[in-house]
């Protein structure tokens, strides 16, 4: 994958579509991890049994191969910093997939190329001639990203000393189709044809290509697969492998893994899979048939010549339903009948709201179709930017000079900017005619801009901010900092968009302190700049303006349910669970407050029903339903014919903002994969690699036969607590609506909830109150995975590490992986039941030792 960062920035710049929802922190994002005398691998959030590099940025696993007693894990790595860049292959080896030894850099970037994702094989028959049959070479097949042209092509390198040193092939590249979106080759030996098989992605086209070779140098295209399944983002890091169904070697199916970003099941990055057959040339996915949504009562289908009793504000929706696409818009599809709500009237520059009359909630679900821009609703935003709150202006950057502010470097120039700079997207949202804008000569410049000292004599510091999302604590921040006694006590960054929006710091606890504002741009990569204006002290908090394109359910004046598009003109099903609001007055609002790229929303066919409709994304196959499992690929040559898979435990939505240092990025626990028939369908399942049990300490704490009703209570007592745990629990269903376990519980309501919803038959993880969640608006929330109880029982296996939870439900058919960043003192484990009772048949809790010892 490796190019996800490049692709993501390119898409954002082209679309100018990212809403500015500022990252705020009540304390600096620079964590305790930065204390100089903290020993390696003991930092606050450092995983204890998941692989992390000692220092610097890491993303996709690469080159997974087993050779001479060692599992090799290569990975996308920046040898020069804690943010994405200078991509190379880091390297580690393990004998058991749990205890890892980090080795020197394997394949390094150079002046011409970055070394993006790929795979590795052992060339047993020396088909390449790089070694001998007695000493077969290990061959890496990677995507070479040309730094001057952006072209992605496939290259190879080799090692004849068990992967310790590497040589790039002088004849590189071995496949070049002239594409900037052609990457992540996964290569294996295909015995029936005595040839090498490469699976590689055409990422922007949502296709996978299959090539064959006799020598790993000369390749022939065999076939393509796709588009299919979820296509809301680029396709990356494909993998193809056979597995026996239900353990029967006579019944084998092939699994095609396609990682997608964004557009995953939980938002952002995720790992999709298809089950089917491979005949040596072509992969054919199993036909799932057509989808029929639940029947119900249609309350608005936009088939009339006007909006009826629905009302509009603004001009975005026009005066009547649209008959498909409107002027200047691409083809629109997926709507029912002849009409739909379409806010593209006069393009993306218009805004407005289309609202239903109030109604009494008397159905279980509200199903509808939605498309258009991917700009979610963010709590705390307002529909219109009013005047700034009353207060003291510290700087409005008018008058053509910085006044008493001190500049370093060359990013900020000699005076404030007067708007958009050369080659920059349109900058908006600032007040007056001047602002701070560090896009001087593009993103390549760096510097700081520091205010004179002032006294904090009001409750809030308010300011407008936009630009790049590179927080304090990352290697190269673009941020606004509040300094007290020279220390960063508050910080904020943009969200990769040029529109400025209000941000606020609550500074009541700093009353009377002397302070300074420091605007920092130390980043030279994409979105490596910052926009700032109208810094002021006030007793009132400024509220950011909505940038959403969304369908919202309003109850008691608040947005309680929301859905957005996927940056696509294709409408797809979405559903609101209405059961919590039965009998209440509600309203539907279709909202377009965005004027940038994809700044419009499409909606159709609102239907009251007894069951939820499912989108294409929900109907797709997912190896993991959490937010933090991406770029997953599997090991070749694993002993015993096992198929082990590992993924990058992060999400491109916020990967550069997670509060870790001096490292950023972790790998999931390796998982043993299997195909099982679940509810009549063949599903890809996974379980943690068995060797993780070697970390279990002493005797476990256990409980059995406990009934819990309408409460949360400590599980087993003080024996069942810790920062690194292995938990197995089995529940018998009674009448509770929801039940499960809470881990990493602590003061101030800190908890990560791992539960089961009996009404939706879903496993879920709620990390809304899991600790530090405010570094990105997409981080807090709830992830769900379908899981049916078996024989009235639900079984859970939970791995808790210092900054993650991995939950395996049932036989591994429901898996949720989420990062968490709790206070180190939050170590409790609780059992809970809501709206009824549940029986905890048995729970066993092991404390896990560190794999770093």
Residue at token pair 């629990």? 729
Answer yes or no: are the C-beta atoms of 428 and 498 closer than 8 Å.
yes
Tokens read off for 38:
């903290």
Tokens read off for 244:
């026996």
- Triad 58, 783, 595: Cα angle to 5°: 80
636: Cβ contacts below 8 Å, ≥ 6 apart: 64, 65, 66, 119, 120, 121, 122, 188
**Sign, Cα dihedral of 292, 567, 204, 75:** negative
Query: Which of 825, 690, 803 is CA-nearest to residue 41?
Result: 803
Of 33, 37, 60, 111, the active-site residue reads: 60
Order of strands, sheet of 207-213, starting from the edge strand that comes earlier in the sequence: 182-190, 195-202, 207-213, 219-225
Rounded CA separation 406/484 (Å)? 17
Tokens read off for 659:
């509060």
Answer yes or no: are the C-beta atoms of 829 and 745 closer than 8 Å.
yes
Going through 68-181 in order, the beta strands assigned E by DSSP cover 70-77, 88-94, 100-107, 113-122, 138-146, 152-159, 167-168
Tokens read off for 563:
């859905």
Burial class (CB in 10 A: 0-12, 13-18, 19+), 485: exposed
Rounded CA separation 810/685 (Å)? 10
Rounded CA separation 479/28 (Å)? 11
Query: Catalytic residue at 60?
Result: yes
Q: How many CA atoms lie less than 13 Å away from 24 in the CB half-sphere?
A: 22
Helix (H) or strand (E) holding 33: none
Answer yes or no: are the C-beta atoms of 561 and 552 closer than 8 Å.
yes
Rounded CA separation 433/466 (Å)? 16
In DSSP terms, 555 is beta-bridged to: 558, 586
Would you tell me how many other CB atoms lie within 10 Å of the CB of residue 706? 16
Answer yes or no: are the C-beta atoms of 64 and 634 closer than 8 Å.
yes
Answer yes or no: are the C-beta atoms of 756 and 762 closer than 8 Å.
yes
Tokens read off for 217:
């140098």
DSSP 246-265: TTEEEEEEEEEEEEEES--T
The separation between CA 687 and the C-alpha centre of its own chain, rounded to angstroms, equals 22
How many H helices and E strands in the chain? 2, 55
In DSSP terms, 674 is beta-bridged to: 685
Rounded CA separation 621/640 (Å)? 26
Answer yes or no: are the C-beta atoms of 120 and 64 closer than 8 Å.
yes
The separation between CA 500 and the C-alpha centre of its own chain, rounded to angstroms, equals 24
Return the C-alpha torsion angle 566, 572, 576, 577, nearest 10. Answer: -120
590: Cβ contacts below 8 Å, ≥ 6 apart: 317, 341, 343, 353, 354, 355, 550, 551, 552, 601, 603
Query: Which of 533, 267, 514 is CA-nearest to residue 397?
Result: 533
- Residue positions annotated with a catalytic role: 60
């Amino acid at each position: 994958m490796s190019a996800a960062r490049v692709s993501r920035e390119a898409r954002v710049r082209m679309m100018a579509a990212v809403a500015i929802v500022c990252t705020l922190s009540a304390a600096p994002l620079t964590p305790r991890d930065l204390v100089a005398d903290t020993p390696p691998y003991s930092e606050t959030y450092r995983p204890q049994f998941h692989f992390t590099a000692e220092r610097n940025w890491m993303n996709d696993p690469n080159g997974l191969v087993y050779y001479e007693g060692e599992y090799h894990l290569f990975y996308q790595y920046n040898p020069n910093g804690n943010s994405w860049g200078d991509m190379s292959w880091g390297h580690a080896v393990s004998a058991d997939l749990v205890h890892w030894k980090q080795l020197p850099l394997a394949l390094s970037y150079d002046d011409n190329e970055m070394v993006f994702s790929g795979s590795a094989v052992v060339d047993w028959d020396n088909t390449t001639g790089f070694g001998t049959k007695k000493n077969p070479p290990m061959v890496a097949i990677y995507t070479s990203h040309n730094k001057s042209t952006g072209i992605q092509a496939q290259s190879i390198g080799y090692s004849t000393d068990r992967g310790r040193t590497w040589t790039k092939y002088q004849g590189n590249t071995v496949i070049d189709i002239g594409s900037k979106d052609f990457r992540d080759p996964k290569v294996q030996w295909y015995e029936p044809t005595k040839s090498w098989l490469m699976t590689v992605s055409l990422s922007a086209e949502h296709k996978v290509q299959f090539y064959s070779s006799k020598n790993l140098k000369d390749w022939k295209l065999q076939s393509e697969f796709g588009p299919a399944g979820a296509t809301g983002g680029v396709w990356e890091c494909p993998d193809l492998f056979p597995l026996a169904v239900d353990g029967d070697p006579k019944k084998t199916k092939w699994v095609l893994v396609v990682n997608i970003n964004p557009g995953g099941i939980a938002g952002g990055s995720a790992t999709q899979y298809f089950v089917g057959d491979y005949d040596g040339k072509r992969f054919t996915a199993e036909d799932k048939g057509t989808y029929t949504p639940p029947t119900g009562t249609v309350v608005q289908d936009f088939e009339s010549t006007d909006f009826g009793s629905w009302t509009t504000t603004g001009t975005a929706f026009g005066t009547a339903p649209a008959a498909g696409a409107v002027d200047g818009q691409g083809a629109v599809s997926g709507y029912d009948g002849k009409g739909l709500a379409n806010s593209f009237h006069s393009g993306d520059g218009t805004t407005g709201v289309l609202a239903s009359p109030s109604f009494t909630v008397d159905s279980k679900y509200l199903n509808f179709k939605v498309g258009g821009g991917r700009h979610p609703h963010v709590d705390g935003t307002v529909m219109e930017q009013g005047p700034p709150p009353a207060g003291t202006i510290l700087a409005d950057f008018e008058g053509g000079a910085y006044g008493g502010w001190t500049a370093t470097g060359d990013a900020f120039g000699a005076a404030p900017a007067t708007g958009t700079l050369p080659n920059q997207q349109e900058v908006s949202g600032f007040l007056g005619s001047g602002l701070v804008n560090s896009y001087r000569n593009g993103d390549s410049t760096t510097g700081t801009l520091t205010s004179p000292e002032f006294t904090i004599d009001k409750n809030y510091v308010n300011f407008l901010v936009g630009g790049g999302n590179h927080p304090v604590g990352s290697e190269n921040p673009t941020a606004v900092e509040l300094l007290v006694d020279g220390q960063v006590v508050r910080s904020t960054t943009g969200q990769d968009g040029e529109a400025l929006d209000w941000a606020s710091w609550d500074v009541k606890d700093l009353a009377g302190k002397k302070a300074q504002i420091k605007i920092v741009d130390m980043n030279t990569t994409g979105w490596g700049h910052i926009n700032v204006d109208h810094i002021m002290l006030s007793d009132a908090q400024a509220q950011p303006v909505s940038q959403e394109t969304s369908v919202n359910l309003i109850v008691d004046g608040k947005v309680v349910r929301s859905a957005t598009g996927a940056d696509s003109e294709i409408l797809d099903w979405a559903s609101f669970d209405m059961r919590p609001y039965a009998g209440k007055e509600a309203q539907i609002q279709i909202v377009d407050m965005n004027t940038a790229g994809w700044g419009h929303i499409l909606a159709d066919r609102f239907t009251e029903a007894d069951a939820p409709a499912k989108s294409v994304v929900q109907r797709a196959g997912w190896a993991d339903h959490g937010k933090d499992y991406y770029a997953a690929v599997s090991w070749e040559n694993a002993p015993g014919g096992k198929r082990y898979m590992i993924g990058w435990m992060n999400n491109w939505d916020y990967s550069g903002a997670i509060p870790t240092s001096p490292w950023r990025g972790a790998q999931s626990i390796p998982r043993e994969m299997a195909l099982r028939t679940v509810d009549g369908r063949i599903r890809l399942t996974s379980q943690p690699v068995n060797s993780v049990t070697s970390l279990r300490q002493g005797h476990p704490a256990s409980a059995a036969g406990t009934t819990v009703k309408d409460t949360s209570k400590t599980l087993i007592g003080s024996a069942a607590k810790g920062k690194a745990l292995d938990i197995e629990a089995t529940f018998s269903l009674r009448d509770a609506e929801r039940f499960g376990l809470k881990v990493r519980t602590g003061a101030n309501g800190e908890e990560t909830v791992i539960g089961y919803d009996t009404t939706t038959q879903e496993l879920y993880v709620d990390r809304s109150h899991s600790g530090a969640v405010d570094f990105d608006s997409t981080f807090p929330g709830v992830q769900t995975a379908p899981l049916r109880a078996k024989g009235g029982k639900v079984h859970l296996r939970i791995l808790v590490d210092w900054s993650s939870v991995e939950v395996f439900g049932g036989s591994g058919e429901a898996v949720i992986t989420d990062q968490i960043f709790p206070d180190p003192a939050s170590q409790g484990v609780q059992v809970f039941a809501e709206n009824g009772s549940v029986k905890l048949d048995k729970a066993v809790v092991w404390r896990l030792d560190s794999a770093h010892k």
